[in-house]
Structure 1
Amino acid sequence: MKESTVFLIEESSSRWDSVSSLLRSNDFAVTTFNHPSQFYESYNPRIPGCMVMDLSISLVAGITLAEQISEKGYCPPYIIVGGEPRACDLSRAMRSGAQDFFERPLDGSLFITRVRAALQQDDQLRQQWLADQSVLKRIDSLSPREREILALVMDGRLSKQIASQLDISVKTVEAHRANILRKMHVDSFIQVVCLIANKHEWLESSSSAVA
């Protein structure tokens, strides 16, 4: 497993020397960025970590960053430091993955505790995201007809019913079913249901949905 990283997004490096040192002295791997756009351009959702944002001048830029990263598939938890954000900005930040807000001067001990908690949450959320990505990749390998048949199977239709509805032979339906199991890397449709239960919309996703 890759080492988790604290992505430190700062507006003024001179103000953050002590915080960067604090993080590193507590054995965190730290990578710094001087603007949200710099982090966005280099962000890889498969690298574990959390963000710490010094965005007292432009909190909205940080929130927008988190929202844009989410559109890529996964946004890590983040912590905001400094400034006096409006209540509406904080509400929007929490919806986009913000875990905590710290005013200056920092409570170093509490800050480190919350960073560790953010990294732990990232580990849990990322494992689920990676599992979902694996399933989406398998679904993406299905042909349009196979997705159509899988959706009908998920709705409880039998092969004869599917054949009648799609005006194809039962033998053709069975061939598609076999291909679906092979491409989904499972042995039965019960396992398929367990993978995508209550997520029928995944059958409509395209390859662009997989990071």
Structure 2
Amino acid sequence: MTITTIGTISITITTGNYNATSLINWLNSYFATTYPAISMTFTLNSSTGKITMTANQSFSVLTTSTCIRVLGLSGDTLTSTSNALILPNPCDTSGPRTILIKLPDFQSNSFNVTNRDVLTFKSIPIVVPPFGLIYYQNVDNSEMVIKTTMDKNSIEILLTDENNNVLNFNGIDWTMAFEVKNYKRYSPQINYSSSLETFVPDETTYNEV
């Protein structure tokens, strides 16, 4: 979050799982301790879910702020009126709703409607509370066909949320298991010489006249 008031202030919210109340408490404590001169306070409207910022002087929230969805920003520069600013959108501390598993080196045979790409291998919904264990098993045994003509010794796996933000597990251990089936199209070597056909399927020669 970036604010201009007596100068440009950049605030990095400590990594953690917040709800709206704990986030408001953190912000108020941070400004009271770090920037007491501007008397910046945050309050939450329980009916609208929107945050109101107040100070003892005018201020602006800049477009360089990255916590847009969390605080309810718009992505545009927001300027206070009479030293107060009601953020335009409800704050959202729910975090990612989906884990998208992407394979940038490959393309699937189907178009992912939600993410609008052909790189998403699987979408895993997050339906557990904060600090809960996310467990997913492919119980329907569905398969994703990946088209490629390359031989790969390694596979890049990219994990993003539904907004294509790369996920940061913040040091938490995670594991995934994949079953890979490799199918190759058989291309026999056929040589034609007059009426003689030579067919070599697997180093065994069959001649037919």
Higher strand share: 2
Normalised by the length of structure 2, the TM-score is: 0.30
Q: Which structure has the higher relative contact order (CA within 8 Å, separation 6+)? A: 1
Larger Rg: 2
Greater percentage in helix: 1
